[in-house]
Structure 1
């Protein structure tokens, strides 16, 4: 049974992606900072007949990410799909937004740790094995400001810088893995998830991820609410 690891899993898009892949026969490994919340999400998936479990880790602590993926491998075996979508719905220690005129090292470095270095830490746990097997999918999710900083709110300049760095990493990794059997793509979301009509709902957006995994077409596939 193939396995998807969702890093940054929550009750919105992460859970919806888990349901989509789980319904297609995937086991689901959920990763975020709080074990109790992960256990609740896993219970919901298990009730729906999906093999799922939670593995607590902090993306700003590479050692905890490595430990979590070690436990994932023990439970499910190799990871076939990695979806990385750190989206803080609750305050993250040390992480704050800043407008461009106020952005400094103290506000930008944690954003880089959260988006870029967290993404690299997770990728390091799965990419070598994927390349060795000649198969795998890695999808990185950010807000639309990573692709177009002018599209985001001015208060999120530091976030746009951090997530933009992750975007650059994703696009260069897409090119570097060409011909290896590993598919890497970036998904910038131009929508407030769950804040509008059906096109903004996580269940709708999650289908976009399954389409990417199955079609494996393109380095960057934005999702925009109509």
Structure 2
């Protein structure tokens, strides 16, 4: 049975992606900071017939993320799909406009998005390359693709998620023609804020479509 590891799993998009892949025969490894929350999500998936378990880690604490993947492999074996989608946040507690940006207040966002995504990928990518099979999906907000999509105060997030986007696209470039597929999914929507098109269950269907078709490096979900 193939396994998807969802880093940044929560009750919104992460759970919805887990449900879609679970319905299609995947086991699910959920990674987030709170074990109690993970236990609840995993129980909901198991009730629906999906093998699932939660593994605690903080994406800004790289050793904890490495340790989580060690436990995932002990439980499920190889990871066939990695989906990285930490919930949008500002680690500094405030949005940072470009004129207010400093090395110090940008660093937490780089840790959260770029370094966390890189660390997660490093835990599965070598094995995927060795067996010439696997998928990596990186999720960000729309400002990673269109920096004008959000207000100036999104500056710190736009910088960090743009860096993660660049990493994902360059991975796609070097792995094109192999059995390992990498894609970036920028989301231009406030998830759960409006009609059906903003709901996590609707957006999650895109991930299965991207996974199965394996075409192109970038797949925006844009409802503007």
TM-score, structure 2 as length reference:
0.97
1:95 positional shift: 5.6
Matched residue count: 224
1:126 positional shift: 0.4
Q: Which residue of 2 aligns with 1:213?
A: 211
Q: What runs of 5+ residues in structure 1 fail to find an aligned partner?
A: none
Q: Alpha-carbon deviations, 1:150-203, whole Å to 9, x = none?
A: 111221100100001000000000001112200000000000001111111000
Q: Alpha-carbon deviations, 1:1-53, whole Å to 9, x = none?
A: 00000000000000000000000000000001111111110011011111000
Q: Which residue of 2 aligns with 1:79?
A: 79
2:61 and 2:94 map into 1 onto residues whose CA distance is: 17
Q: Which residue of 1 aligns with 2:144?
A: 146
Give the aligned CA root-mean-square deviation in angstroms. Answer: 1.2
Q: Which residue of 1 aligns with 2:63?
A: 63
Q: Which residue of 1 aligns with 2:29?
A: 29
Q: Which residue of 2 aligns with 1:131?
A: 129
1:225 positional shift: 2.0
SS in 1 for 2:136: strand
Of residues 194, 197, 201 in structure 2, which corresponds to 1:196?
194
1:97 positional shift: 2.2
Q: What runs of 5+ residues in structure 2 fail to find an aligned partner?
A: none
1:152 and 1:75 map into 2 onto residues whose CA distance is: 40
Q: Does 1:185 align with 2:222?
A: no
1:61 and 1:96 map into 2 onto residues whose CA distance is: 20
Is the contact between residue 95 and residue 107 of structure 1 (CA under 8 Å) also seen in structure 2?
no
1:160 and 1:166 map into 2 onto residues whose CA distance is: 10
Extract structure 1 runs of 4+ deviating beyond 4 A. Answer: none
2:36 and 2:152 map into 1 onto residues whose CA distance is: 34
1:173 and 1:149 map into 2 onto residues whose CA distance is: 22
Q: Which residue of 2 aligns with 1:46?
A: 46
